[in-house]
Amino acid sequence: MKKFIFASAALCVAATISAQEVQEVVEVQPQSQEQSAATTKAYRTEAGRFGVEAAIDLKDGFSFKEKDYVDGEGFDGFKGGRITAIYTLSDQLALRCGFGLHVSKTYKHDKETVKDEVYEEIKNTTDVKSHTTRSQFEILPGVVYSFKGTERLEPYIGIEGVFGFDKNRTNAKEDISSNDADFQNYNTKSKNTSTGVFFGANGFTGFNFFLCKDLFIGAEFGFGFKVTPTDRVEKAELEDSRVETPKEEENDDKHFGHTTDINLLFNPSIRLGWRF
C-alpha cells in the first residue's frame, strides 16, 4: 500500500513538472515572434518619419569625354539624377517629393573648302563649330504604398506628378577665310536660347533593401507620359567681327500645340536613402 502511495505521488510530481515545462515553452514561443516583429519593424517604414534619398542614373549619370568639337555626344561631369524627400504617414503609406536635374551636350563640327568658280587657285573655307546644351529641371510630388515584404526588403508601388521646365542653348562660331589676298577674313558668333515647360505623370514600382536600421538602397521603374507644349520663348544673339554692335532678337513664339511622350521608364540607378 505504501509503495502504491509513493508511486502515485511520484507520478503527480512528474506530471506537474511536465506541465510547467510545456507552459514555459508556450510562453517563450510568442515572445520570440514578438521579438521578430519588433526587429522587422525596426528596419521597415514607421509612421511620422522623414527620409531623404539620392539617385544617380547608371545609364548616363556621368560621362567623361574629351572636350573636342567632334560630332556626337560629349559632356564632362554630371548628366542626370534626383533628390527625393519622404514623409511616412503609416506603416504602408508615404508621401514623397523629388527634384530632378538632367543635362546633356551635343557637339558638331563642319568644315568645308570650296574652289572659286573663276580662279581655281583661290579657295574659300568655312569652319563652323557649335555645341548645344539641353538642361531640364523637374519636380515630382507623389504617394507610395509599401507591401509587407520581408525583414529587410520593402517592395512598393506609387504614382507621381511631373512638372518642370527645360532650356536649350546653342552656341556656334563660324570662321570664313580665303587664300585670296583681297579677301578679308571674318567670323561670326551666335547664341540661340529656347525655354519651355512640361508636365505629366508616372506610375512606378520598386523596392528598398535595408542595409541596417534606417539606411537603405533600392531601384524602381515605371510607366508614364509627358506633355510638352510648343509655346516656347526664343532668344537669339549674333556677333559679327565686321560689325561693332551685336544683334539681339527676342521672339515669343506661340504654336498652340503640344507633344505627348509615353515611355517605359526603366531607371538603372543607384539609390541611397536614410530615414531620420
- Domain boundaries, given as residue ranges, for the chain: 1-43, 47-275
Q: What is the pTM of this model?
A: 0.71
Q: What is the pLDDT of residues 186-226, one digit of tens each?
A: 889 999 898 888 888 989 999 999 998 889 999 888 888 88
Q: What is the pLDDT of residues 226-249, one digit of tens each?
A: 888 776 778 888 888 877 766 666
| Between 252 and 122, the higher pLDDT residue | 122
Report whether 157 contacts 205 (CB < 8 A). Answer: yes
Distance CA(266)–CA(96), nearest Å, equals 19
Helix H or strand E encompassing 239:
strand 232-240
Is 60 exceeded by the pLDDT of residue 60? no
Rg for the chain, CA atoms, rounded: 34
Helix H or strand E encompassing 55:
strand 50-57
pLDDT at res. 3: 44
Helix H or strand E encompassing 33:
helix 2-43
Return the CATH number of 47-275, one of 2.40.160, 1.10.357, 2.30.30, 2.60.40.
2.40.160
Backbone CA torsion sign across 202, 203, 205, 210? positive
Nine-digit cell string for 197: 515647360
Name the least confident of 135-139, 145-149, 176-180: 176-180
